[in-house]
A and B are shown apart, each in its own frame.
Chain A
Amino acid sequence: MIKPLDVAAGLMLATALVLGLVVPPDAVQGDLQRMMYVHVPSAWLAYLSFATTLVAGIAYLRTRRMRWDHIAGASGEVGVVFTGLALVTGSIWGKPVWGVWWTWDARLVLTAVMFFVYLGYLALRRSFDDPEVRARRASVYGIVAVAQIPLVHFSVVWWRGLHQPATVLRPGDPQIDGPLLAALLAAVFAFTVVFAALVSRRAEVNRLEDLIAAPSAGEPVAGSGVAVPPIVGGGR
């Protein structure tokens, strides 16, 4: 079933695509700069996803409601997708501009580390059969792992590397021309709506998976049908 949020996400994404392709090119990088309209929103949405995992993890630990764990797991997975997209588009941008697909720049390395740490989060979630044990341990992991976000974001300030410093999320006014900023913010907004649609879908899948995996009341569980003979004679 297609939900209104899916339709809104599709329309916003189409609008962002058109804007990203029709705004004037950058004075220095020319049309290559248009990759900003997919690279930057992907990176920001990775931050938002992992922040959502943190908030939902805390909410689970406070309330013990599985709904929060389903949201935490969903946003963790969506965050891994966005981080992967930020890494791939950054690499595609780097090749024509820097001359290399990859360099050991602090921002790139820390983003890659964040990607693998959250892959670990997804692996951890698959390691437990008991949903409550899974939810508790994954919540703690999600709370600890989020410490990487400021590290990734401020890496361009703390260490000098090839990656450019922040253009929009920086102290003072954004260093970007008006139409380009408008297209970027439209793309960020569109990606945020897509994020909401994806998390909603994925959380629903998590809920249904738990529902199907849980033995319903009265249903026999493993071993319950085996008759155990009584022990007689003192066991010697």
Chain B
Amino acid sequence: MSDWAWVTLAFGIVYGTLITYTAVLVRRSRALRRSAGLK
């Protein structure tokens, strides 16, 4: 693998994880607010 391929892999994992985790938390809080009868 080239140097840039390693760099892309590392950046992809970190940025992908942070974006996915944020999206999961946004969805979860939205669903919980609905369950709790909050706006």
Q: How far, in Å, is B18 (CB) from chain A's closest CB?
A: 6
Residues of B contacting A95 in the complex (Cβ-Cβ under 8 angstroms)? 6
Query: Are A96 and B3 also in contact (CB < 8 A) when A17-B11, A89-B10, A198-B21 are?
Result: yes
Contact A205 B7 (CB under 8 A): no
Number of interface residues of B (CB under 8 A): 25
Query: Are A212 and B4 also in contact (CB < 8 A) when A6-B22, A93-B10, A205-B29 are?
Result: no
CA distance A32 to B14 in the complex (A): 15
Tell me which of B11, B28, B30, B38 contacts A38 (CB under 8 A): B11
Contact A35 B25 (CB under 8 A): no
- The contact size tier of chain A is 35 or more
Interface of chain B, helix or strand or loop or mixed?
helix
Residues of B contacting A21 in the complex (Cβ-Cβ under 8 angstroms)? 7, 11
CA distance A65 to B25 in the complex (A): 23
Q: Is A31 an interface residue (CB 8 A)?
A: yes
Q: Is A137 an interface residue (CB 8 A)?
A: no
Contact A92 B13 (CB under 8 A): yes
User: Closest residue to B6 on the A side, CB-wise?
Assistant: A96
User: Closest residue to A35 on the B side, CB-wise?
Assistant: B10
Tell me which of A2, A85, A197, A209 contacts B13 (CB under 8 A): A85
Residues of A contacting B11 in the complex (Cβ-Cβ under 8 angstroms)? 17, 20-21, 34-35, 38
CA distance A92 to B12 in the complex (A): 12
Query: Are A34 and B7 also in contact (CB < 8 A) when A13-B15, A208-B36, A209-B32 are?
Result: yes
Given A198-B21, A205-B29, list of 8 further CB < 8 A pairs?
Answer: A13-B18, A17-B15, A89-B10, A89-B13, A198-B22, A205-B28, A208-B38, A212-B35
Q: Can you name 14 A-B residue pairings with CB atoms under 8 Å?
A: A13-B15, A20-B11, A32-B7, A38-B10, A85-B13, A88-B13, A89-B14, A92-B6, A92-B9, A92-B10, A194-B22, A198-B25, A201-B25, A201-B29
Q: Which residues of A contact B (CB under 8 A)?
A: 1-2, 6, 9, 13, 17, 20-21, 30-32, 34-35, 38-39, 42, 81, 85, 88-89, 92-93, 95-96, 194, 197-198, 201-202, 204-205, 208-209, 211-212
